[in-house]
Structure 1
Amino acid sequence: MARIAFILLTHKDPQGVIDQAKRLTASGDYVAIHYDRRARDEEYRTIEAALSDNPGVTFARRRYKCGWGEWSLVAASLEALRQAERSFPQATHFYMLSGDCMPIKSAEHTHAFLENDDCDYVEAVDFHTGNWIKTGLREERLIFRHWFNERTQKWLFYQSMDLQKRLRITRSAPKGVQVMIGSQWWCLRRQTVEAVLNLIDLRPELVRFFRTTWIPDETFFQTLVSHVVPKTQIRRRSPTFLMFTDYGMPVTFYNDHYDLLLRQDYLFARKISPEAQELRAKLGAVWQAEGMEFAISNEGPRLFRFLTERGRVGRRFAARFWETDGSLGRQNVVCLIVAKKWHVAKRLTARIRALTAIPAVDYLFNEHAAHLPDLGGIASSLSKRERHRRALIRLMFEEFETRQLVMCIDPSALSLIGDFAGDRAQTRILFVDSRFDEDYLRGHMQRIGLSSKGMPEEVVRRLIPVVRSDLEHEAERLRDMEFANFHVISEHASPGLNTAAIMRFLDVPDEIAHDLAATPHLFSD
């Protein structure tokens, strides 16, 4: 049977630490506590007194003053880990937690989960090629020595690094070591912990190297575990659920996140607001529950991205790219079919290609197959099309040998549409005004990853009006921009109105516009 020794790194909320330790040991597990030495001594004495008679609790022999990004966090983790390994010989797993973590599964479920797969859970990707670091220092974390804290000693931190650059004082990782990086929240088996501690004793240069790297808590254990455990026995993910905001800060969970947290495929969650007492109480009860089943839908990250991106319409197409290097040509005409229902727009472009000589492409910035001509490497991937989109449109005019071009655009890309409209080339817009029934909205939510088969029906029903409102808001914002050459077709409009709109949009004879408006099943879902 799995028995867990939790490595609890804390620096505040003594009563919360006490409650957490009592809760975790009540299930037959263990806790090793490191309480930051920067905290007040009376807080530590309160915790020590409250838990002194609990045989499942031990304390790190040495307390460190911990600072973000410093070696002190790793030193504190190692101190508590060594103490747990010595004190709890029956522990089969060692799980790193912070004081802000809470269980989102029962102890019964957690033990069974760890027993069913003989492996270690630690996020560990290659430091140099894994693209884990999104912003800030990269190789500089390793090749230079860091003795100062970037947050509290910024001037010294950067002066020291600049001096090493000027003097060309750099270093490499210890021999035979491939540096890995990932989340500091892991769960390791006893044999892995013993192997890591033994490796540290055998190779003291490992500690010397990581001691002066920047943010070593994201690299130290991740690297060492990867060197002592076969790849097949490592699940490169954290067992703790956490998300980050656009600013790189951890997302904080509150009372109304209870249902969402339980549906994530993780064992604990970080970080729980200290003010969310109701959530903490309910999650504490979950840990002690027996026979409780969990429906996993894992929609947390997708739902968070969806909700935080509301109101940021068009940002994925970046800045105003038409404002540089001239225009698409005053003599050219760009015809944009703006439609949320992509299948409707693509039926229309197919019909345009069949009935006219006007080149018409589909969602070239969203789908690889968009009826593009062979434009070489510039169109080989969506990222290249977006990065070189201005050159791409020019090449299309040249390749098609035309002065008129039709393309499909999603209404969420308002900045892109606005940039086209602001160019010297004439821009015409045909907006496909659609109505969204519940079946379409459910399918749309699945297509964009906002829902999954495992998501509870209650959550889906709550999201449907939110998604509908967002789609309708996109249409309203498009109308509010009051473009000069703006035309609308709709399944609810008369054939005559749709014909007139298409005739003006494409500048084609009435009979061709009529045939286009009469495209079979044009608006069908």
Structure 2
Amino acid sequence: MRLGVIMLVHTALHRAEAVIRRWTAADCPVVVHVDKATPREEVERFTAALADLGEMVSFARRHRCEWGTWGLVAATQDAAEQMLLKHRDVGHVYLASGSCLPLRPVEELKAYLAARPEADFIESATTADVPWTVGGLSDERFTLRFPFSWKRRRKLFDGYVNFQRRIGFRRRIPAGIVPHMGSQWWCLSRRTLSAILTDPLRLVHDRYFRRVWIPDESYFQTLVRLYSTNVESRSLTLSKFDFQGKPHIFYDDHLELLRRSDCFVARKIWPHADLLYETFLGPLPAKEAEPNPGKIDRVFAKAVERRTRGRPGLYMQSRFPNAGWENGVTSARYCVFEGLDELFEDFAPWLARLSGAKVHGHLFAPEGAEFEGGQAHVAGALSAAPGLRDRNPRMFLTNLIWNARGERQCFSFGPADNQAISWDIAKDPSADISVVSGAWAVSLFRSGAPFEVIRARAARLQKLEADHIAALRSPYAKAAVKVWTMAEFVEAPMEVLQHAAEAAAPQAGTGRLTEVPKMADLAGFGRFLQQLKNEGMHPHLMGDYPVDPAPLGKRRSVRKPYLVR
């Protein structure tokens, strides 16, 4: 028995001609359908070029084949009927497109099918079993009507779908039909294909599928279940789709990838992929291997992941406009210290010496970014100018971490800084945030400003820090967060320093600290807080800070209670 080929073409007819000659050279008759939208002059040149092949090539009645419409099924039906009528010795019929290219000797495909005379190779699965559908229509493609073109009349298409949903319209599926879906490109046995085309209920089936959405991916895939005794639910044509449901196009640099797949045919081949056409239409070595597209699935899965998720902290055109599409806010771990530079006079140089990390000042200070060493620009020409930074604070931070990846970045942050970055660092799993709440009051305490000014500023800063801490403690926060109140700090300042050192250099194993920065003088700070309370401003973020605290680092002794009898 011979292998017959149906080819649906609409563009790049010169490439289709070369592939047709490959099929016919292996004694495979070809029935060609040319899209009715293809200009007549091109079709006439195409048919004249193939005239020397005689009866091996014939042309089916032309239909307009618009994506997602019945025309593709009608074209396939007419071409299949013509194939079965003209070539009665054909045992299998292979459906291909003009952009399909045989990857192995055709004789190997013929031998493969001859060993499986009753097998029907067609993807056929119910919508409940696979997550293939893209665009929100799964079961509804079989229960609603789709008289309008999705590509040319999108508003009418969407409006009519919504109207049917509103009124609760639901089509009746013909008796005995269980809708299935799969790839359009199949290879069916003569017996099964003939049974589908000569079914007494064909008019009923055609009338139903004519208003199904994308019927070329469901008509034969559904009806094959009624007649086939041996369905191989896979296509012999290698075709890959991206996350949007669009087919991957193969170019010259995919040559080795296609060879490795061991598949008989591949689509979609770029018309200008000269190397692919020269290679696969030339002499090919015998393989005698089972088609195994799984060999290259990992490459495609990685490509889809790179396109949809990208690299952490690197924003690209395909993802940047889409909120939530970024793969992590930043590309590497970094540390944020809040209040420690207020409590220790030389905190930044001490931490830099101890950890080897880049320790900046307040990157989001109103006057501009305080880069390490007072630099005006850092890696990647990132400027300290506040105007540039504040146009997009999030991208300022993202670029800093990306440009300096491989080196731990640390910086200070406080309520006086630009708070636009607050939620971004809270939701960033790369952030390690250490907070001593209320430490901003130390600079007010030491400022010597009029108390009325201090009180108003303290109230504003406390509200800003309260909002920031609420973000850090929200269920959406993904950063590693540790918060101490001022009251907790004065009882155990070494605990805070130890945590800061370990956060800045987690791989170094800092061990017990042998050097500590100089601590700010907090004598009288408790009385300052009490005065704020007396003026009606309650500094609740400081915790239960005593008016006359014990010496720093020493816990107050508490007398044990005793009982008098």
Interval of TM-score (by shorter of Structure 1 and Structure 2): 0.5 to 0.7
CA 1:126/1:294 → structure 2, altered by over 3 Å: closer, same or farther?
closer
RCO higher in structure (CA 8 A, sep ≥6): 1
Q: Is the 8 A contact 2:142 2:179 kept in 1?
A: no
Report what 1:285 is aligned to: 282
Q: Given that residues 122 and 237 in structure 1 are in contact (C-alpha distance below 8 angstroms), is that contact kept between their aligned partners in structure 2?
A: yes
Distance 2:64 2:509 in 1: 71
CA distance in 2 between partners of 1:501 and 1:242 (Å): 60
> In 2 relative to 1, CA 428–229 (structure 1 residues): closer, same or farther, beyond 3 Å?
same
**Counterpart of 1:4?**
3
Aligned residues: 346
Shift of 1:188: 0.6
Report the CA distance between 1:309 and its aligned residue. 3.2
CA distance in 2, matches of 1:65, 1:134: 24
- 2:247 aligned to which of 238, 247, 250: 250
Separation in 1, partners of 2:272, 2:326: 40
Alignment of 1:260-271 (within 5 A): 260-271=257-268
Alignment match, 2:121: 121
Give the TM-score taking structure 2 as reference length.
0.56
Q: What is the alpha-carbon distance in structure 1 between the residues aligned to residue 171 and residue 177 of structure 2? A: 13
Task: Measure how far apart 1:183 and its partner are.
Answer: 0.6
Amino acid in the other structure paired with 1:147: P
Contact 2:472/2:481 (CA < 8 Å) preserved in 1? no
CA contact (8 A) 2:13 2:98 kept: no
Equivalent residue number for residue 427 of structure 1:
480
Map of 1:362-511 to 2, 5 A cutoff? Answer: 417-418=429-430, 423-424=472-473, 427=480, 485-489=503-507, 497-498=508-509, 500=511
- Confirm or deny: 8 A CA contact 2:263 2:291 kept in the other structure: no
Aligned to 2:163: 163
TM superposition shift of 1:264: 1.0
Q: How far, CA to CA, are the matches of 2:325 and 2:154 in structure 1?
A: 31
Preserved CA contact (<8 Å) 1:21 1:31: yes
State the distance in 2 between where 1:248 and 1:98 align: 18
Q: Give the 3-state SS of the residue equivalent to 1:274 in structure 2.
A: coil
Residue of structure 2 equivalent to 1:276: 273
Counterparts of 1:213 and 1:296 in 2: how far apart (Å)?
A: 32
Higher mean alpha-carbon deviation, 118-127 vs 160-169, is at 160-169
* Alignment partners' CA distance in 2, 1:81 and 1:296: 25
Report SS of the residue matched to 2:430: helix
Q: CA deviation at 1:419?
A: 6.8
* Partners of 1:487 and 1:501 within 8 A in 2: no
1:372-399 Cα offsets, whole Å, 9 max, x none, are xxxxxxxxxxxxxxxxxxxxxxxxxxxx
Map of 2:142 onto structure 1: 142
Match of 1:56 in 2: 56
Q: RMSD across aligned C-alpha pairs, in angstroms?
A: 3.3
2:144–2:164 contact (8 Å) kept in structure 1: yes
Are residue 210 (structure 1) and residue 205 (structure 2) matched?
no
Is the Cα–Cα contact under 8 Å of residues 63 and 76 in structure 1 kept in the other structure? yes
Kindly provide the CA deviation profile for residues 181-228 of structure 1, in whole angstroms up to 9, marking residues without a partner as x: 0110101111111111122x4342110000011100110000000111
1:167 and 1:228 map into 2 onto residues whose CA distance is: 36
**Which blocks of at least 5 consecutive residues in structure 1 are unaligned?**
323-414, 430-481, 490-496, 503-525
1:487 and 1:220, CA in 2 relative to 1: closer, same or farther beyond 3 A?
same
**Corresponding residue for residue 310 of structure 2:** 312
Distance 1:135 1:152 in 2: 16
For the residues of structure 1 that align with 2:21 and 2:512, how far apart are their CA atoms? 71
Percent of pairs with identical residues = 32
Q: Secondary structure at the match of 2:188?
A: strand
Q: Partners in 1 of 2:268 and 2:91 — Cα distance? A: 25
CA distance in 2, matches of 1:501, 1:56: 86
Letter of the aligned partner of 2:261 in structure 1? Q
1:485 is paired with a residue whose SS is: helix
Q: Per-residue deviation at 1:272?
A: 0.6
- What residue is the counterpart of 1:356 in the other structure? none
Give the superposition deviation at 1:251.
Answer: 0.9
Alpha-carbon distance in structure 2 between the residues aligned to 1:153 and 1:207:
23
Q: Distance in 2 between matches of 1:153 and 1:9?
A: 24
- Which residue pairs with 2:130 in the alignment? 130
Contact 1:240–1:270 (8 Å) recurs in 2: yes
Residue 195 of structure 1 aligns with which residue? 195
SS at match of 2:157: helix
Q: Is this contact kept in 2: 1:144–1:213, CA < 8 A?
A: yes
**d(CA) in 2 for partners of 1:244, 1:501:** 56
- Would you say the 8 A contact 1:125–1:132 is kept in 2? no
Does structure 2 retain, via aligned residues, the 8 Å contact 1:428–1:485?
no
Q: Are 2:310 and 2:326, in contact at CA under 8 Å, matched by a contact in 1?
A: no
Cα distance, 1:7 vs structure 2: 0.8
State whether residues 122 and 235 of structure 1, in contact with CA within 8 Å, keep that contact through their aligned partners in structure 2.
yes
Query: For 1:107 and 1:191, how far apart are their aligned partners in 2?
Result: 22
Paired position in structure 2 for 1:65: 64
Cα displacement (A) at 1:140: 2.4
Q: What SS does the aligned partner of 2:272 have?
A: coil
Which residue does 2:233 correspond to in 1?
236
Partner of 2:109: 110
CA contact (8 A) 2:134 2:245 kept: no
The aligned runs of 1:1-40 (5 Å cut-off) are 2-40=1-39
Structure 2 counterpart of 1:143, which letter?
A: T
Q: Which deviates the most, 10-19 or 66-75?
A: 10-19
Q: Verify the 8 A CA contact 1:14 1:46 in the aligned structure 2.
A: no
Question: 2: distance between equivalents of 1:191 and 1:93?
Answer: 9
1:320: Cα distance to partner?
10
CA contact (8 A) 1:58 1:87 kept: no
- Counterpart code for 1:269: A
Q: Radius of gyration: which is bigger?
A: 2
Q: CA deviation at 1:156?
A: 1.8
1:74, 1:98 → 2: CA distance?
A: 13
TM-score normalised by L of structure 1: 0.60
SS at match of 2:32: strand
Give the aligned residue type for 1:167. I
